[in-house]
Amino acid sequence: MTAPSARPRLFSLTWPLLLELLLGIGLGVIGTALAARLSDDSGAAFGLANQIFAALFVLFRVIGAGVSVAVTQALGAGRRDQADAVARATVGASTWLGLGGAGVALLAAGPLLRLVNAPPEVAPLAGLLLQALAPALLIDALNATMASVMRAHLRSREALMVVVLIQVVTLAVALLAMPHLGLVGYALACLCGRGVGLALHILLWKNRLNLRLQPHDWWRLVPAPLATVLHIGIPGAAENIGWRLAFMTSLAAVAQLGALALATHAYTMQFLHVILIFGLAVAFAVEILVGHLIGAGELHAAHQLVRRSLGLGLVVALAVSGSFALAGPWLLRQFTADPRIIELGCTLLWWTVLVEPGRVFNMVVINALRATGDARYPVIAGAASMVLVLAGGSWLLGVHLGWGLVGVWIAYAADEWIRGLLMWRRWATLGWLPHARAAHRKLRRARAG
């Protein structure tokens, strides 16, 4: 890979990722709307259960954060055999992580909801949904890993096709089942959609990547390839887990404000998820390309790619978040007729215009740092902000000072900007360069051997 080829490849990777993320978030928005039609308590329960589900999904980042980097670097260095060994090893590891996550969702739904101060009128509905989602969590672990390998091989379009079919099946079943089964109908829809996705990933690995999984690949743990993945994955997962725990603490502060605040938070977060995926698509594409460039030894091209991509992400974040803020009254009326929720939600959407540019620094630069092998810095540099600003600030501003959800959003903005500027300083001062050189030397020695 050379520097001139990085520009068109960035776009060709970004647009399938963007559509893939849009479909995933779109389904969550539709699910929230369907749940809200049952009642505002059901809408709040849906949002709360899905936040806990997402927190459990972070466990899979132990594998997911490392597999993409390990595979892209191996491919960039011309080591297809090593890339295949990593891919097979991560399938078995994902099975065990998925079983663990599903077990937690099934057996610890009640304690988890009490941990986030779920209101009494919301907790039973959220607990039932979380337990019903447990089997889907297992399949999600496998789908996430297999999709990461597909994208690392620059097969973003095929990965997008799988997501499209997953969402079509999930939406069709949800529309049929939720009017009769309530929130459990959504869990059934997720299970059906994820099952279809897993079957398609198995076929694509065989036909597009020439990777045929053997029975033992689904459960065996292979130390050597997993060590490469975990070297990146454990710090990457630690950063994600740290943020998710801090966010769940802020969610507990929101729950302390009551069911109306929780419903407003749930509805507004759906739009925030849509807004952030534009930057997230760029970040994922950057991670893939930087991994290939590091494996090939094109360090200057990697540096220039990140600078261009960050500028693109900032422009897009401002444009998209501003558009959503302007359309806020109409968007929120699709979820609720309560004027208090609509007014407060619109205020939060305007604060989101401040949140999102800071988030882009985090998403793009952290993924780039991880792709170079510099995975520990984001955890160490961002830990204090996540604990003191995101978690502590949400309680201080939102609950103790009485600023409510606006105070929570101010804490979100402050945390994203503090961590984002720290990440950019690391990249701009070339603190990642020794890690990139070490990763390239290691791959070069392995190829020579």
Whole-number pLDDT of residue 118: 84
Whole-number pLDDT of residue 449: 55
* Structural domains of the chain, count: 1
Q: Euclidean distance between the first and final Cα of the chain, in Å?
A: 22
Q: Rounded to whole angstroms, how far apart are CA atoms 188 and 119?
A: 25
Tokens describing residue 263: 């419903």
pLDDT band with cut points at 50, 70 and 90 for residue 446:
low
Distance of alpha carbon 229 from the chain centroid: 18
Question: What's the maximum distance between 2 C-alpha atoms anywhere in the chain?
Answer: 68
Structure confidence by residue, pLDDT tens digits, 108-131: 999 989 887 888 888 999 999 999
Long-range contacts of 109-115 (CB under 8 A, 24+ apart): 109/52, 112/52, 113/48, 113/52, 115/248, 115/252
Whole-number pLDDT of residue 1: 36
Model confidence at 61: pLDDT above 80: no
Three-state DSSP at 75 gives helix
Model confidence at 3: pLDDT above 70: no
Tell me, what amino acid is at 115?
Answer: L
Tell me, what amino acid is at 392?
Answer: G
Tokens describing residue 95: 């099975």
In a domain, 449, yes or no: no
Distance of alpha carbon 184 from the chain centroid: 24
Tokens describing residue 119: 């209101």
Whole-number pLDDT of residue 368: 94
pLDDT band with cut points at 50, 70 and 90 for residue 448:
low
- Cβ–Cβ < 8 Å for 46, 127: no
Whole-number pLDDT of residue 2: 36
Give the side-chain half-sphere CA count within 13 A for 12: 10
Which string of b and e fits 272-289 if b means at least 16 CB within 10 Å? bbbbbbbbbbbbbbbbbb
In a domain, 330, yes or no: yes
Structure confidence by residue, pLDDT tens digits, 168-200: 999 999 999 998 898 999 999 999 999 999 999
Q: Rounded to whole angstroms, how far apart are CA atoms 238 and 244?
A: 10
In a domain, 63, yes or no: yes
In a domain, 401, yes or no: yes
State the residue range of the domain holding 302: 3-444
In a domain, 432, yes or no: yes
- Cβ–Cβ < 8 Å for 64, 233: yes
Give the side-chain half-sphere CA count within 13 A for 305: 35
Model confidence at 95: pLDDT above 90: yes
pTM: 0.77
pLDDT band with cut points at 50, 70 and 90 for residue 306:
very high
Residue 430 CB contacts under 8 Å (≥ 6 apart), including other chains = 303
For 31, 167, 189, 425, the CA distances from 26, given in Å and listed in that order, are 8, 9, 15, 34
